[in-house]
């Protein structure tokens, strides 16, 4: 049931491409390679990845331009690679919308740690070891299993993903549209009220008498997974 993470590497150095491929595939990711900026953009549009690893100095189109074009389209996480470590380059990368920055030569293990951190920030549903625990509640995304008050609760995939997402952002309010964008995708054309239906079913299955947490409606705004702070003291 796990979604495999797709990584697009846009880099003209074949050795670095091989190195990144070796480590990312070992972590279970699907890797695609482009050796110039124009080809990288084509591959990005043809099959949008979950994360882009982007070199700055490349033929056809440099990494700055590729980053700008990607940011016109969506918010896919980008880690930029460069042979230069000047602070100006880093600031320019962040200004253009890059999520992280790594100077060559780099430790592949450090790159993997950064990839996982960026993916967690961008979308907790992509965290390979996704388990969330609150008092009387455990959500194991890897096994798609929810345990509430010692009882296993069966949730369909979308209800499971919705609960996991909300619980991984405790006390943060999300609009219906934000939840649709995160879990159904930006191109979803269905009724936004589908969120209401899923929330209703989640509440029915988990019950509404828990003193520690609840899936709360914020009238006129959306929903949040509300956690009582004293239960962690």
Q: Is residue 1 part of a domain?
A: no
Residue that finishes a domain, picked among 126, 150, 181: 126
Half-sphere exposure of 13 (CA within 13 A, CB side): 14
Which of the four pLDDT bands, split at 50, 70 and 90, describes residue 181? confident
User: End-to-end alpha-carbon separation of the chain, Å?
Assistant: 35
Q: Is residue 23 part of a domain?
A: yes
pLDDT in tens, 81-105: 887 666 566 667 677 778 888 888 8
Which of the four pLDDT bands, split at 50, 70 and 90, describes residue 2? very low
Q: Both 117 and 68 in a single domain? A: yes
Identify the CATH number of the domain in which residue 222 sits.
Answer: 1.10.10.10
| Percent of the residues in the chain that have a pLDDT greater than 70, as a whole number | 86
Q: Are 229 and 171 in contact (CB under 8 A)?
A: no
Prediction pTM value:
0.56
Q: Both 23 and 111 in a single domain? A: yes
Quote the number of domains for the chain.
Answer: 2
What are the backbone dihedrals phi and psi of residue 19, each rounded to the nearest 5 degrees, phi first?
-65, -45
Q: Both 117 and 18 in a single domain? A: yes
Residue 209 has pLDDT above 50, yes or no: yes
Name the residue with higher pLDDT: 53 or 207: 53
Domain ranges, residue 148: 131-232
pLDDT for the residue numbered 118:
83
Q: Both 138 and 109 in a single domain? A: no
Which of the four pLDDT bands, split at 50, 70 and 90, describes residue 129? low
Q: Both 116 and 183 in a single domain? A: no
- Rounded to an integer, what distance in angstroms lies between the CA atom of residue 24 and that of residue 164? 25
Q: Which residues contact 66 (CB under 8 A, 6 or more apart)?
A: 10, 37, 40, 41, 54, 58
pLDDT for the residue numbered 193:
84
Going across the sheet that includes 222-227, the strands are: 174-175, 222-227, 213-218
- Rounded to an integer, what distance in angstroms lies between the CA atom of residue 91 and that of residue 57? 16
- Rounded to an integer, what distance in angstroms lies between the CA atom of residue 183 and that of residue 151? 26
Q: Is residue 72 part of a domain?
A: yes
pLDDT in tens, 103-119: 888 899 889 988 887 88
- Rounded to an integer, what distance in angstroms lies between the CA atom of residue 57 and that of residue 165? 37
pLDDT in tens, 17-59: 999 999 999 888 899 999 999 999 999 998 889 899 999 888 8
Residue that finishes a domain, picked among 126, 152, 173: 126
Cα radius of gyration rounded to whole Å, the chain: 20
Q: Both 145 and 76 in a single domain? A: no
Q: Is residue 223 part of a domain?
A: yes
Residue that finishes a domain, picked among 126, 142, 172: 126
Q: Is residue 31 part of a domain?
A: yes
Residue whose C-alpha is closest to residue 13's, from 55, 66, 62, 65: 55
Mean per-residue pLDDT over the chain, rounded: 84
């Amino acid at each position: 049931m796990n979604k495999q993470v797709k990584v697009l590497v846009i880099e003209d150095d074949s050795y670095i491409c091989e190195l990144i491929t070796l480590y990312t595939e070992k972590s279970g990711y699907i890797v695609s390679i482009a050796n110039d900026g124009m080809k990288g953009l084509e591959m990005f549009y043809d099959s949008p990845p979950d994360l882009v690893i982007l070199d700055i100095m490349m033929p056809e189109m440099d990494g700055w331009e590729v980053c700008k074009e990607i940011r016109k389209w969506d918010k896919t996480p980008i880690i930029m690679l460069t042979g230069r470590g000047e602070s100006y380059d880093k600031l320019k990368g962040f200004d253009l919308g890059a999520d992280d920055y790594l100077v060559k030569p780099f430790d592949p293990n450090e790159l993997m740690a950064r990839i996982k951190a960026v993916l967690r920030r961008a979308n907790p549903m992509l965290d390979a070891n996704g388990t969330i625990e609150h008092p009387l509640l455990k959500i194991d995304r890897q096994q798609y299993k929810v345990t509430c008050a010692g009882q296993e609760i069966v949730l369909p995939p979308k209800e499971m993903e919705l609960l996991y997402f909300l619980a991984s952002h405790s006390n943060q309010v999300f609009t219906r549209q934000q939840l649709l964008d995160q879990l159904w995708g930006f191109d979803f054309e269905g009724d936004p009220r589908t969120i209401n239906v899923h929330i209703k079913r989640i509440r029915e299955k988990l019950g509404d008498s828990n003193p520690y947490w609840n899936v709360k409606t914020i009238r006129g705004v959306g929903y949040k997974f509300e956690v009582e702070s004293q239960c962690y003291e």
